[in-house]
Amino acid sequence: MAIVQNPITGRSKNKFGSAVFAKQYGKNTMRTKPIEVKNPKSPDQVNQRNKFSLMIATGRQILDTLKVSYKSEAVKMSAFNAFVSNNIKTAIIGTPGNYEIDYPSLIVSKGTLVKPLNPAATSTVAATISRSWTPPLSTTDAANSDLLCCLNYNIDKNLWIAEITSTPRSVGSYQEAVPANWSGDDVHTYTFFVNAKKNKSCDSAYTGIVSVL
């Protein structure tokens, strides 16, 4: 059954003959059902599919973070799709059949806020990752109120953890507690900021691999 108020401008959904109606990002859309479903298997197409599969699998692991960190980039697409689109060409390395994520090149947040200045991550206390950055020079700078976000990928456990903290940019440092069983593991670290409303973010900074004490 199709619900059609006006096939061009009205409220429409489901199927009507060979047409499929849907609503995407606040707009009515109509497409035709394919007469024949093809499954191209040329080397280039297979390679591209493998890259997409790899990036999609990564994005799904940090989906809740992306809903905030890519929110301002979600124009006529989802935040998840914006993440895939921004990383598919630049954050995958390797050869056909042996692709992998290039974690230092991965952009986990994107937006117009000011990027972290001189960001760094270390571990000098057990089960803790310490982050530092340079705050804005002026105390009246609006960026001072932006909130720190931490994202970590544990290489040994193939596990991501994320935290949107209540620590403002003006503080300049943060001690992040990680699971105790991460002791001795190597972790890719990312640092970025969001505004208080969590509807704007900055481009993420890769802060290196940290060996957790």
Average pLDDT over residues 3-16: 58
Average pLDDT over residues 108-125: 98
CATH class of the domain at 43-211 = mainly beta
Structure-model confidence comparison of residues 179 and 15, the more confident one? 179
* pLDDT exceeds cutoff 90 at 9: no
Question: Within a 10 A sphere around the Cβ of 209, how many other Cβ atoms?
Answer: 14
Strand partners, 14: 21
- Give the pLDDT band of residue 25 (cuts 50, 70, 90): low
- Give the pLDDT band of residue 193 (cuts 50, 70, 90): very high
Closest-CA residue to 86 (of 6, 168, 184, 203): 203
- Give the pLDDT band of residue 22 (cuts 50, 70, 90): confident
Tell me, what's the pLDDT at 6? 57
Tell me, what's the pLDDT at 27? 65
* pLDDT exceeds cutoff 70 at 2: no
Handedness of CA 19, 23, 29, 32 (dihedral sign): negative
pLDDT digits (tens, 9 = 90+) for 130-178: 999 999 999 999 999 999 999 999 999 999 999 999 999 999 999 999 9
Considering only 3-12, 134-143, 195-204, which range has the smallest mean pLDDT?
A: 3-12
Where b means 16+ CB within 10 Å and e means fewer, 179-207 reads eeebeebebbbbbbbbbeeeebbbbbbbb
Task: Give residue limits of the domains in the chain.
Answer: 43-211
d(CA 207, CA 13): 46
Closest-CA residue to 206 (of 93, 119, 117): 119
Do residues 82 and 201 lie in contact, with contact meaning Cβ atoms separated by under 8 Å?
no
Structure-model confidence comparison of residues 7 and 87, the more confident one? 87
Tell me, what's the pLDDT at 85? 97
Q: Could you tell me the pTM of the whole model?
A: 0.83
Do residues 112 and 202 lie in contact, with contact meaning Cβ atoms separated by under 8 Å?
yes
* C-alpha gyration radius of the chain: 21
Tell me, what's the pLDDT at 44? 86
3-state SS of the chain is CCEECCCCCCCEEEEECCEEEEEECCEEEEEECCCCCCCCCCHHHHHHHHHHHHHHHHHHHCHHHHHHHCHHHCCCCCHHHHHHHHHCCCCEECCCCCCEECHHHCCCCCCEECCCCCCEEECCCCCEEEEECCCCCCCCCHHHHCEEEEEEEECCCCEEEEEEEEEECCCCEEEEECCHHHCCCEEEEEEEEECCCCCCEECCEEEEEEECC
Tell me, what's the pLDDT at 208? 98
pLDDT digits (tens, 9 = 90+) for 28-70: 666 776 656 566 778 889 999 999 999 999 999 999 999 999 9
* pLDDT exceeds cutoff 80 at 190: yes
Tell me, what's the pLDDT at 138? 97
Phi, psi of 53 (to 5 degrees): -60, -40
Tell me, what's the pLDDT at 1? 52
